[in-house]
Amino acid sequence: MYVAASTECFPDLSLAETVDRLVDLEYTNVEICLDANAETLSPSAIQADLETAVMTCRKTRRLDIVTFDVRTAISEDYDQFAMICKLAKATKVVTLTVQSGELGTPFNEEVERLERLVTIAATEGVRVGLKTQIGRLSEDPDTIMVLCNNVDGLGVTLDPSHYLCGPHTGRSYDKILKFVYHVHLRDTSKTELQVRIGQGEIEYGRLINQLRKVSYNRSLSVDIKPLDDIDHMSEMRKMRLLLESLL
């Protein structure tokens, strides 16, 4: 396993500025979020000019790109999603993270959507990981389990914070660990999705040991948003050092 950081850690900065910050913090791997507001890597820009998108991704100052975080609206546009898969292949990214449907989405409709995404991704040698997330079908580990069993090749982007702080607080997610393709991490309490490092209840050591048992050997991606009156750079550095000490 190895440590990475999401560009979502610096939501107000450009990709180039974010890369500079991560290099300063001594990260060596980056996860790039793709949404309509992305300055240089919006889905429409990728679809219009794949070559430029590939060149942009190669200007990460030796940071390895571990995954692309694809937002729901994009993953419902199959032509754009196909171009993102081509970008992933060209930049040697193996896993794409997608969001599940919102609560209330018919199960069969979600299965059909995910089957199509997995099929498109597979043509480029890419895998799809469904993000565990409050307010979506994936907030329930049992639902995730059923989706992965119904959609051949579908995996999970595990964000344990959403199982500690949310409607399924305390529910075991051990059953979905065998499907994990990628991991998002921050510190979390039972009442707040993100708290300062060390003030929450995420058991990083236990989680890493559980992942080792299912032979997980990929990235642990730091996904910490800036908080008021807290030194964000210090929190990012602290999280990297903590995770590296456990690996």
What local confidence, expressed as pLDDT, does residue 148 receive? 96
Asked if residues 53 and 16 have their Cβ atoms less than 8 Å apart, the reply is no
* CA-to-CA dists, residue 86 to 67, 77, 194, angstroms: 13, 15, 34
Q: What is the pTM of this model?
A: 0.92
Asked if residues 159 and 201 have their Cβ atoms less than 8 Å apart, the reply is no
CATH, residue 169: 3.20.20.150
What local confidence, expressed as pLDDT, does residue 60 receive? 86
Residues of the chain with pLDDT under 50: none
Q: Retrieve residue 191's tokens.
A: 């009442």
What local confidence, expressed as pLDDT, does residue 75 receive? 62
List the domain range (segments joined by +) for residue 37: 2-246
What local confidence, expressed as pLDDT, does residue 41 receive? 84
Which residues neighbour 181 within 8 Å (Cβ) at sequence distance 6 or greater?
95, 127, 128, 129, 155, 156, 157, 218
Burial class (CB in 10 A: 0-12, 13-18, 19+), 40: middle
Closest of 68, 64, 63 to residue 23, by C-alpha: 63
What local confidence, expressed as pLDDT, does residue 72 receive? 66
The span from the first CA to the last CA of the chain, in angstroms, equals: 7
Question: pLDDT (tens digit, 9 = 90+) per residue, 123-155?
Answer: 999 999 999 999 999 999 999 999 999 999 999
What local confidence, expressed as pLDDT, does residue 45 receive? 87
Asked if residues 86 and 124 have their Cβ atoms less than 8 Å apart, the reply is yes
Question: pLDDT (tens digit, 9 = 90+) per residue, 58-89?
Answer: 888 789 999 999 976 666 689 999 999 999 99
Q: What domain count does the chain have? A: 1
What local confidence, expressed as pLDDT, does residue 214 receive? 95
